């Protein structure tokens, strides 16, 4: 008897799966296996899922009304302990959030009734349910964050519509554009991200509860009723897929990586535009830091962190895909590795959007510096377009415009300061009205086809962006 007692005293005795095992676990294995210190973030979802499960078992006659009431009230007490930061995790006993909640429930209402909660349920379906509930709730918050960012973009584009700045290709000054047009270029990227996010939420919000370990539930439990109680839009209809699927996490990370890619590029532009060499924008102190050595420095750390954290997001996505790619069906412990990166990825993405919104809401623009950065050679295409309107083939006008640029460089004269005689020396088809071409605002307004940088086009893009916010 003494030997048996010694065998049953190991940490496996109190685990949800402990009945099969008579020996204790290596303490390192206990720590290696447990996930409670990060999956405790799912405490609320785990309790909501357990209440729905208990209700469904009560409806099937597996739990009496009194037993269900005790379980429900006990779980609500556990929930309050988590919310009030009074829940005490027992190291080596509370393997994960599911074990911890059931252990505490047993302490509150007695292990006899608490032990009936898990009837017909597997941790495989339980963890998948918790993850989907948590992720759905968090992605809806992120949807709100992203909507806020898009509203700021639309608002600033509308109020700062008139300011002209250089547009770039290859990081070389290319053509004049409106500052508002630049903001909306990223706004439309983010609007596409919003649309994709809403599609992801639909696929996340499907219930695996009732799938069992892999083969389904033996008590005819009402999966639809549980799904409705938990706010799911539908079911995962194959029990094996229900417990094996982590595509919803991978897809979320793919989405998050795409968004972070866009945020990173947006941040990079603003880092450049805020530098002394450009000085198009100035970041608020709230989103900048100084140097420990150089008093004059004002560093765009907020934007650099967004750019840096995009790599973190990409890595989490790639890491999880490599974890999943080789495992057989259905549930394998490898899938535990989907929880921690999911939690961090969602926090990183959500925080980054909120920081981006703060940066854009508070930065100031310096239109005079934007205008001063424009140079007449950026109107070379307008020069070619002028001749096109005179009936000259574009390939010929492109060459002629290039000759004008070369002449300006050779003589050290800005292109708009070349004399009419010099221009006619390049091509006789230039007329006196060529002088009207050297106008940055006019250049912008000439780009009036849908999607262009004219004010009318920008206003149209703002309306398109606003419409995309409607869910």
Catalytic residues: 170, 291
Could you tell me the sign of the dihedral formed by the alpha carbons of 178, 304, 349, 249, in that order? Answer: positive
CB < 8 Å & 24+ apart, contacts of 315-321: 316/253, 316/341, 316/344, 316/345, 317/250, 317/253, 317/254, 317/256, 317/257, 317/345, 320/246, 320/249, 320/250, 320/253, 321/250
For 170, half-sphere exposure in the C-beta direction (CA atoms, 13 angstrom radius) is 2
Cα 35 versus chain centre, distance? 24
Nearest of 124, 105, 125 to residue 114 by alpha carbon: 105
DSSP 8-state secondary structure symbol assigned to residue 279? -
Nearest of 170, 153, 163, 173 to residue 444 by alpha carbon: 163
User: Residue 154's CB: how many other CB atoms inside 10 A?
Assistant: 23
Q: 71 with 105: CB under 8 angstroms?
A: yes
Give the whole-angstrom CA distance, residue 375 versus residue 438.
10
Give the whole-angstrom CA distance, residue 13 versus residue 25.
10
Nearest of 139, 140, 154 to residue 190 by alpha carbon: 154
314 vs 9, 264, 276, 278, 324, CA distance in Å?
A: 44, 12, 31, 30, 16
Nearest of 310, 306, 307, 317 to residue 341 by alpha carbon: 317
369 vs 135, 274, 288, 374, 416, CA distance in Å?
A: 44, 11, 21, 9, 20
Cite the beta strand spans of 179-226 per DSSP E.
206-207
Nearest of 271, 301, 287 to residue 358 by alpha carbon: 287
Give the whole-angstrom CA distance, residue 186 versus residue 163.
17
Nearest of 338, 149, 122 to residue 243 by alpha carbon: 122
């Amino acid at each position: 008897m003494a030997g048996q007692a010694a065998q049953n005293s190991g940490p496996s005795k109190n685990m949800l799966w402990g009945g099969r095992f008579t020996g204790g676990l290596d303490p390192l294995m206990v720590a290696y296996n447990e996930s409670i210190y990060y999956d405790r973030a799912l405490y609320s979802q785990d309790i909501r899922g357990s209440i729905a499960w208990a209700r469904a078992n009560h409806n099937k006659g597996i739990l009496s009304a009194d037993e269900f009431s005790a379980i429900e009230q006990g779980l609500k007490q556990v929930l309050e302990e988590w919310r009030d930061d009074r829940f005490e995790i027992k190291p080596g006993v509370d393997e994960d959030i599911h074990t911890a909640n059931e252990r505490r429930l047993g302490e509150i209402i007695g292990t006899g009734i608490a032990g009936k909660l898990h009837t017909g349920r597997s941790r495989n379906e339980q963890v998948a349910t918790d993850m989907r509930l948590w992720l759905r709730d968090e992605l809806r918050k992120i949807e709100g964050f992203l909507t806020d960012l898009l509203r700021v973009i639309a608002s600033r584009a509308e109020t700062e519509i008139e300011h002209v700045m250089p547009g770039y290709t290859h990081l070389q000054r290319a053509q004049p554009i409106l500052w508002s047009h630049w903001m909306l270029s990223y706004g439309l990227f983010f609007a596409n991200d919003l649309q994709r996010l809403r599609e992801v939420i639909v696929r996340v919000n499907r219930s695996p509860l009732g799938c069992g370990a892999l083969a389904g539930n033996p008590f005819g439990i009402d999966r639809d009723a549980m799904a409705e109680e938990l706010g799911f839009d539908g079911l995962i209809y194959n029990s094996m897929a229900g417990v094996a699927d982590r595509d919803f996490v991978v897809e979320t990370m793919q989405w998050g990586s795409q968004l972070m890619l866009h945020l990173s590029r947006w941040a990079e532009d603003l880092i450049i535009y805020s530098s002394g060499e450009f000085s198009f924008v100035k970041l608020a102190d709230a989103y900048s830091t100084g140097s420990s050595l150089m008093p004059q420095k004002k560093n765009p750390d907020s934007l650099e962190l967004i750019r840096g954290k995009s790599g973190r997001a990409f890595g989490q996505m790639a890491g999880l895909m490599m974890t999943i790619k080789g495992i057989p069906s259905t549930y394998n412990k490898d899938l535990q590795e989907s929880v921690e990166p999911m939690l961090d990825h969602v926090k990183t993405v959500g925080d980054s959007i909120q920081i981006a919104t703060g940066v854009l809401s508070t930065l100031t623009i310096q239109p005079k510096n934007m205008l001063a950065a424009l140079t007449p050679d950026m109107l070379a295409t307008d020069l070619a377009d002028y001749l096109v309107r005179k009936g000259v083939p574009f390939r010929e006008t492109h060459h002629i415009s290039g000759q004008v640029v070369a002449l300006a460089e050779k003589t050290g004269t800005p292109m708009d300061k070349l004399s009419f005689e010099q221009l006619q020396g390049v091509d006789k088809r230039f007329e006196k009205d060529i002088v009207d071409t050297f106008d940055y605002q006019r250049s912008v307004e000439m780009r009036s086809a849908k999607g262009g940088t004219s004010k009318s086009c920008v206003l149209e893009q703002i309306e398109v962006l606003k419409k995309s916010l409607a869910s």
